[in-house]
Structure 1
Amino acid sequence: MKPIVAFFLFIACLTPSFAQETEYNLLPFPAQFAGGEGHFSIQNSTQLVYNLKDIRQKQAVLLLADYLKSAAGLTLKTTAWTAAAAKGKNIVFQAHTQKKCGPEGYVLRVFTDRVLVEAETAAGFFYAVQTFLQLLPTDIYSPKKITTQTSWNVPSCDILDKPRFSYRGLQLDVSRHFMPVSFIKKYLDLMALHKLNTFHWHLTDDQGWRIEIKKYPNLTKIGSKRAETLVGQYYQNYPMQFDGKTHEGFYTQAEIRDVVNYAKTKHITIIPEIELPGHALAALAAYPNLSCDPKKTYEVATKWGVFEDVFCPNETTFKVLQDVLTEVITLFPGKYVHIGGDECPKDAWKKSEFCQSLIKKLKLKDEHELQSYFIKRIEKFVNSKGRVIIGWDEILEGGLAPKATVMSWRGVQGGIDAARQKHDVIMTPNEFMYLDHYQGDPNTEPLAIGGYLPLEKIYGYEPVPAELTAAEEKYILGAQANVWTEYMPTPEKVEYMVFPRAVALAELTWMPKGPRNFEDFSYRLKNHLKRLDHVGVNYSRRLFDVTADTQFTGEDQLQVRLEKMDSDSKMYYTTDGSEPTRSSTLYEMPITLKKTTTIRAMTTSGGQLQQTFFIHKAKGKKYTYAAKPTSDAQADKLTDGIVGRSPQSRREWVSLYDQDLDVVVDLGEVKPVSKVKVNFLKVILEKGFPPTSVEIAVSRDGKDFKEAISQPITYELEGPWTLLPAVADFRTSRARYVRIRAKNAGACPPSHPDAGAKTWFALDEIVVE
């Protein structure tokens, strides 16, 4: 047996062929690891040896025995630990006495003649079994006996493992879309498989109250039901469209207790979230007296977003919330209660005579300090019950509650500020940790809220901000990924959005600090996906995607470079529109195009790509603005040969806010120009109005421009978002310069929900033929 080596030393020499040969496809990868020679073979004669009086060991032994029986058909005998049994060809569990493992760590040593498992706690033994299972063939995860697997061998290795962070969290929002208990348990199973130890259960919001509170039955009788649900993406249709179907569901207290107990067997702590003082519409629909305007009629929200109606900071509200939290605390035995604290508009408080009087009475500066007062009162009550509150980073505004833990979601600054104030922090910045964002090309992915968070970006995230000192770093408890379900109506969609990105979260929160090798991670992940197949996970195959990048190499040439994360698969492609097969051209070098072409590509692991690349006279040419846009106007976005395909993929578009467009493209020399085309976006509900007029003109000298088209773009205000083209036909003109001017709509019309607000428009790819 080789001695244990540090992870980073091992990972530097780990190659895909080595990993495949010895089957060390572990996720998350251990803190310290050494590979060995040979393997341990599990037979019916193998015994599971442990201290029969140690419940910590017994639970882990029974878990392993169950897997071996159901998938491998091996019924292993359990026997008491003795010196003789410990030296036999057995799997031996025993207490770790050297104090090197910590509360969740373990030692796992696989010899050719025995296996040794050591830990200090039940969690340590549990995680040791999770690693042991990953050393076995992936068929061990099958829910039924695998008859085709003839041997159950475990490769020799030496592991001393423990997590970097004590908090390794995964959240699930069940307010926007209710998820059944059976799925919650499956979610917990998947968390445990990846050594994630905290489940943040978002139970209340504007769109639904999902937890039974016996003292206030209307919270579920009324608050758990919404009349209908928004159809499509939030800004997709103007006016909004709804499905006309009631959406409802809540968890009884008996179901909550069952889930909490189930999580305990997986060594997972559940943190309930009861949103306050904002995101309260479902509660106000049930009890209007909790608002600042009790005479108003409230309804459970049928669309997404942030609403002005929030809890009123009066004694009635505090009494009800304290009663609610009392029942919640009896159901969840963990240390934390999450109270939200985010996205609380102050409009209702500004209009309320009571709130304004309260601000004066308490000598508060403004409504932000009123929110701080609200949070601090709730914290004091929660603390009196022996618990600690967690809140989103908005609870920093107006003054942080004395003992609060902060979840930093609006970037990392909230975490930095809280740590410097000596408060515990959980890092969950939306740029890296929001699994409701697209993980691939929005044009081919299922509908999501927006954004772009590929697997490799999560994997590269470092939870401890570099700005913190060594003394401040200790306040970073760990990281959490969040799963907001506005666009996840089913468990299958949740699984697709969460996995395998949650696997990356698991590794980055478990591994020691230091560089991480994404190529190695993705190789191990390929094998791991077979495990997820066995347990029935509808994961995304984004790992096998093919992506394209472009580079201009000549006057009429575009070089397209195809890339894939799956490094050991082969890629084939076509340029004639036909479907690629293994008989198509093998991709070995960038593809040079001389005309507009659709490339279709496939990998032997199932990856696909279909994308059209436009070859035209303006491709790769420089352009200048008369007035530089204030938004995302990248230097080459309008002439990169990639045409924006839909409103969902904003990365392909240039947006201008509250300003007109005046851009000139330099073709480099005078040449024939027959046509100029450009697309604009129509996203009315998002204040994205097409320009009121577009002027396209050409010039030989850049001074004297010949006007080709100057007219408004016509469209229907109502309807779905779409692309609207502007085309100028020059027939036989010759020019070096092409100018496009577009007039911003200025302000939303009176009929718009944001009447009078400033508008924006977006365009992409100035195509010159």
Structure 2
Amino acid sequence: MDILRSLLLTGLLPALVLAQHPSRFTIYWSVLTNQDNGQALWELTLVNQDTVALPASGWTLYFNFMRPILPESAPPSVQLTHLNGDFYRLDPTEAFTPLLPGARRTLSFASRGPLIKVMDAPSGFYFVFRDSAGTPLPPVSVRDVRALPFASEFQTRRHPADRVPVPTPAWRYYQNASLHLLPPDSLIPVVPTPRLLVHQPGHWTLDRSATIAYEPTLIQEATFLADALAPLLGTRLRLEEGGFSTATIRLRLGAVLLPEGSTHAEAYHLKVDPNTGITITGADAAGVFYGIQTLRQLIDPVFYRQSADTIPIPALEIRDAPRFSYRGLHLDVARNFQPKEVVLRLLDLMALYKLNRFHFHLTDDEGWRLEIRGLPELTEIGGCRGHTETEQDCLVPSHGSGPVAGQPPGSGFYSREDFLEILRYATSRHIEVIPEIDVPGHARAAIKAMEARYARLKEAGRPESEAAAYRLVDPADTSTYRSVQGWNDNVINVCLPSTYRFLEKVISELQQLYQEAGAPLRVVHTGGDEVPRGVWTGSPACQALMQAENIEDPAALQDYFLERLHQMLTRKGLRLAGWEEVGLTAVDENGRRVHRPHPRFRDRGFLIYAWNNIWGSGAEDHAYRLANAGYDVVLSLASNLYFDLAYSKHPEEGGLYWAGFVSTDAPYRMEPFHLFQGPIQHWLGRPLPPEAFARHERLTLQGQSHIVGLQGQLWGETLRTPARVFYMAVPRMLALAERAWAKRPAWSQIADPEPRQRALQNAWNEFANRLGQRELPRLDALYQGTVPYRLPPPGAVIENGYLKANAALPGLTIRYTLDGSDPTATSPLYTGPVLLKGHGEVRLRTFDTTGRGSRTTRLVY
């Protein structure tokens, strides 16, 4: 009894009780204000819904938060510690009093940077309680974390100069006002737009008697077509090698003469004749494949919902080829792991819309996602996140992944068999998979994994040379630094022979995987971005190397590293690719620091991914500087092509916003060779006049030849579920496909800004109708709701007592309620202005053809 009384008095008994079942705490997060000094003030409110008190000591609360929190802003009752990256802990101080059952406690903090969205909230909360001996007990997750509403301007203002409005129903309504529903037969039936499309009278009827004839080298494409048509007809069409005189669908190779009289790789000629059937002629196998994808889009989406005996296909002729040879999509699976099935579905979508490069971001600070034979720690440790004191068993939690090791999205990796399947799947769809092994920065997962390997082998009594064979850090290094993402130990040491031994091993294993899969490996993306200042300055290994190589500045070691990595890849017949940092160098000009193309590497064949075009930053012409200097450039521009950025400023619209917001039409209205065509808005919302870009480089004619293509980026920090991947990717990736494949749009060739803007708006209206009326319903039918793309909330106003509503993608269904409930797929259909009587609340949502709805729009009348 004395022991029990002692435990009660010290507060340790409640700790033991709390540790024995899932947390019964609720945590509320609320933003108070975003201050003019760049700091945000916010609160955490802990509500104890348990039957025992949260004691005065003996516990730690861990969580992730993407902004740097100021430790001195914590209240006296708790001590805040930044552990690393986005990982924090809270410990009670002597001033903390027990939080009794049913009570609540509010803690206030300040952090750097704005907080304007629900997704900004801290995440991954869990308690670790300690017993009477101070031994940590198993972690206890806090599942119930809620963000309070953003109701004031101070909560949604990013900066004193922020002019971007928070979307309201009325704002959306007037934004959509220039859009209107077009007749279905007036729409271009294909995305992306073909170079030449000539409609003919009549149609050809596809039925089960059709046969597919193909040239011998096109068996893969013929099989794909038969498999694609089988669900529509309820049977698989017969394939016949040769037999072109009797077949009704013919796949051939041959010269494809384009409208301008030229030929082009990946070109195709598709002819649908009412009497003789379909002929697809490709300049190569890829061209035939793209002709097949166009044929699939000519079929009305209704036929994808259930099989039919006959399917009419409109008679027409198309001659088509891509504008850019590189049409890419990037997926980061390091921050949050995505299952193999998600990757395969993304590859399907890419193929349907003629994207041909899949940039697979496999490694970063928070995860290593590919099995490498002989280095099991890379995935056992580097592919796992969970609660850990040493990181000898897994990495610390990041991005809200929580304390339980081995669970997605924090944990996970692709086995060799998984990766082989992905490679084969992509290759059969003419998609080249470009792996990214991010070095020298963004390499913490690899570093910690190789440290765990070193410790394991040393403990086993193995020789130092064997244990340290792949070590990536100098143990005597005293350098201090902090990366943009908050890590202080995420850069490999470029002065160690073991670093290059590690890279040689990884790249050799990659080559073997690609060879086994029969997939092309031409390019390895090596990252090269965001290496913080201060790295390598305290490394004895680097000091020795600098003396031997006559290098004066530790920062110049990155050039040394790039040179060695380039030589390694070249020996293997591979091309080095990297983010724009690998092609730029900082120089002083007129008292300011600017980035110019690096003269050392301009003739080395580097493939550069230019991303930093934030409007108003002064860096908007980085891509053009690099291309004009002779670097091959993939436009990966944050302001138009970062699909992890939020669609809008609405607090409930998830996504990041450091470069602004990327609406559905942002990729569409980007003209790659004329980025400075207006109107352009500063990332904070004010218009940027033409003179704002007067000193920026324009793309030269020679520079145009070095813009090899476009790529959309899906960074993974906020992609915690597969559904979020598709929500953020679609429909923006269709607009990307349009701009990467279709010829230069007519609107961009109009010199006068006002007529150009009118032409752009008309063109966007037609494309938005294609999305709303044809392509999104097609995805519903093809994938049965498993591609949960973003449905834009409707715009709405009440004028003269009438409800008026519209959609950002004409063709989407709008439904409404007047009883205070959220609309469902059976709620009244909005077809025109609705007379409202009395007073109340109207709610509206857009719906897809499966009955899935958008976020709810609310108006009071």
TM-score (norm 1): 0.67
> 2:443 pairs with 260, 280, 290, which one?
280
Segment drifting more, 264-273 vs 442-451: 442-451
Q: Aligned partners of 2:769, 2:741: CA distance in 1, in Å? A: 18
Matched, 1:73 2:321: no
Task: Report what 2:556 is aligned to.
Answer: 369
- String of CA shifts for 1:574-620, please: whole Å, max 9, x gaps: 9997878758895499x9xxx9x977445687666535799xxxxxx
Deviation at 1:33, TM superposition (A): 0.9
- String of CA shifts for 1:12-49, please: whole Å, max 9, x gaps: xx99655x237753111212111222111012333323
Q: Aligned partners of 1:585, 1:163: CA distance in 2, in Å? A: 39
Structure 1 pair 410–28 and aligned structure 2 pair: CA distance change class (3 A): same
Which AA in structure 2 matches 1:416?
Y
**Maintained 8 Å contact 1:201/1:272:** yes
Structure 1 pair 294–604 and aligned structure 2 pair: CA distance change class (3 A): closer
**Maintained 8 Å contact 2:522/2:575:** yes
Query: How do 1:221-300 residues align onto structure 2 when only pairs under 5 Å count?
Result: 221-228=380-387, 243-246=402-405, 247-288=410-451, 290-294=471-475
Deviation at 1:72, TM superposition (A): 1.3
- String of CA shifts for 1:265-300, please: whole Å, max 9, x gaps: 1111011111110011111112236444426999xx
Q: Aligned partners of 1:377, 1:55: CA distance in 2, in Å? A: 40
Which AA in structure 2 matches 1:39?
H
Task: Report what 2:511 is aligned to.
Answer: 329
Task: Report what 2:673 is aligned to.
Answer: 464
Q: Which has the higher contact order (CA 8 A, sep 6+)?
A: 2
> 1:64 pairs with 220, 225, 228, which one?
225
**Maintained 8 Å contact 1:572/1:587:** no
Q: Aligned partners of 1:248, 1:241: CA distance in 2, in Å? A: 12
Q: Secondary structure at the match of 2:288?
A: helix
Task: Report what 1:505 is aligned to.
Answer: 736
Which AA in structure 2 matches 1:372?
D
Deviation at 1:243, TM superposition (A): 2.2
Q: Aligned partners of 1:180, 1:98: CA distance in 2, in Å? A: 39
Segment drifting more, 63-72 vs 437-446: 437-446
Query: How do 1:560-639 residues align onto structure 2 when only pairs under 5 Å count?
Result: 564-567=807-810, 582=828, 586-587=832-833, 600-602=843-845, 610=857
Q: Secondary structure at the match of 2:317?
A: strand
- String of CA shifts for 1:157-178, please: whole Å, max 9, x gaps: 1100111110001111111122
**Maintained 8 Å contact 2:476/2:540:** no
Segment drifting more, 604-613 vs 401-410: 604-613
Matched, 1:311 2:492: yes
**Maintained 8 Å contact 1:308/1:348:** no
**Maintained 8 Å contact 1:574/1:585:** no
> 2:295 pairs with 132, 135, 153, which one?
132
Structure 1 pair 44–572 and aligned structure 2 pair: CA distance change class (3 A): closer
> 1:174 pairs with 333, 357, 361, which one?
333
Task: Report what 2:712 is aligned to.
Answer: 481
> 2:270 pairs with 108, 127, 135, which one?
108
Which AA in structure 1 matches 2:643?
L
Q: Secondary structure at the match of 2:435?
A: strand
Segment drifting more, 310-319 vs 127-136: 310-319
Q: Aligned partners of 1:124, 1:465: CA distance in 2, in Å? A: 28
Q: Aligned partners of 1:22, 1:214: CA distance in 2, in Å? A: 55
Q: Aligned partners of 2:786, 2:648: CA distance in 1, in Å? A: 16
Q: Secondary structure at the match of 1:349?
A: coil
Task: Report what 1:351 is aligned to.
Answer: 538
Structure 1 pair 354–68 and aligned structure 2 pair: CA distance change class (3 A): closer
Deviation at 1:320, TM superposition (A): 1.7
Percent identity of paired positions between Structure 1 and Structure 2? 31
Deviation at 1:367, TM superposition (A): 3.4
Matched, 1:535 2:798: no
**Maintained 8 Å contact 2:472/2:498:** no
Deviation at 1:120, TM superposition (A): 2.1
Q: Secondary structure at the match of 2:505?
A: helix
Task: Report what 2:376 is aligned to.
Answer: 217
Structure 1 pair 358–441 and aligned structure 2 pair: CA distance change class (3 A): same
Q: Secondary structure at the match of 1:452?
A: coil
Structure 1 pair 292–65 and aligned structure 2 pair: CA distance change class (3 A): closer
Structure 1 pair 574–174 and aligned structure 2 pair: CA distance change class (3 A): closer
Q: Secondary structure at the match of 2:437?
A: strand
CA RMSD of aligned residues (A): 3.8
Task: Report what 2:217 is aligned to.
Answer: 55
Structure 1 pair 441–583 and aligned structure 2 pair: CA distance change class (3 A): same
Q: Aligned partners of 1:200, 1:182: CA distance in 2, in Å? A: 17
**Maintained 8 Å contact 1:322/1:378:** no
**Maintained 8 Å contact 1:598/1:610:** no
Deviation at 1:152, TM superposition (A): 0.5
Q: Aligned partners of 1:47, 1:34: CA distance in 2, in Å? A: 25
Which AA in structure 2 matches 1:384?
R
Which AA in structure 2 matches 1:369?
A
Q: Aligned partners of 2:730, 2:847: CA distance in 1, in Å? A: 21
Deviation at 1:444, TM superposition (A): 2.9
**Maintained 8 Å contact 1:543/1:565:** no
Segment drifting more, 597-606 vs 379-388: 597-606
- String of CA shifts for 1:235-268, please: whole Å, max 9, x gaps: xxxx997721224222233332232122111111
> 1:379 pairs with 566, 579, 587, which one?
566
Q: Aligned partners of 2:847, 2:537: CA distance in 1, in Å? A: 61
Matched, 1:546 2:794: yes
Structure 1 pair 574–324 and aligned structure 2 pair: CA distance change class (3 A): closer
**Maintained 8 Å contact 1:500/1:539:** no
Q: Aligned partners of 1:574, 1:139: CA distance in 2, in Å? A: 28
Task: Report what 1:413 is aligned to.
Answer: 621
**Maintained 8 Å contact 2:299/2:313:** yes
Task: Report what 1:679 is aligned to.
Answer: none
**Maintained 8 Å contact 1:549/1:561:** yes
Give the aligned length.
569
Q: Aligned partners of 1:343, 1:565: CA distance in 2, in Å? A: 37
Deviation at 1:492, TM superposition (A): 2.1
Deviation at 1:499, TM superposition (A): 1.3
Gaps of 5+ in 2: 1-178, 389-397, 452-467, 515-519, 586-597, 614-619, 676-697, 748-759
**Maintained 8 Å contact 2:256/2:268:** no
Task: Report what 1:123 is aligned to.
Answer: 286
Q: Aligned partners of 2:666, 2:310: CA distance in 1, in Å? A: 38
> 2:771 pairs with 500, 525, 538, which one?
525
Q: Aligned partners of 2:702, 2:289: CA distance in 1, in Å? A: 32
**Maintained 8 Å contact 2:329/2:357:** yes
**Maintained 8 Å contact 1:388/1:404:** yes
Deviation at 1:445, TM superposition (A): 2.8
Task: Report what 2:196 is aligned to.
Answer: 32
**Maintained 8 Å contact 1:497/1:539:** no
Q: Aligned partners of 2:857, 2:226: CA distance in 1, in Å? A: 47
Task: Report what 2:137 is aligned to.
Answer: none
**Maintained 8 Å contact 2:181/2:810:** no
Matched, 1:159 2:159: no
- String of CA shifts for 1:110-166, please: whole Å, max 9, x gaps: 121122211121111111111111111225545xxx25x453010111100111110
- String of CA shifts for 1:664-698, please: whole Å, max 9, x gaps: xxxxxxxxxxxxxxxxxxxxxxxxxxxxxxxxxxx
Q: Aligned partners of 1:24, 1:72: CA distance in 2, in Å? A: 25
Task: Report what 1:42 is aligned to.
Answer: 206
**Maintained 8 Å contact 1:498/1:539:** no
Gaps of 5+ in 1: 1-13, 230-238, 615-769
Task: Report what 1:633 is aligned to.
Answer: none
Structure 1 pair 460–543 and aligned structure 2 pair: CA distance change class (3 A): farther
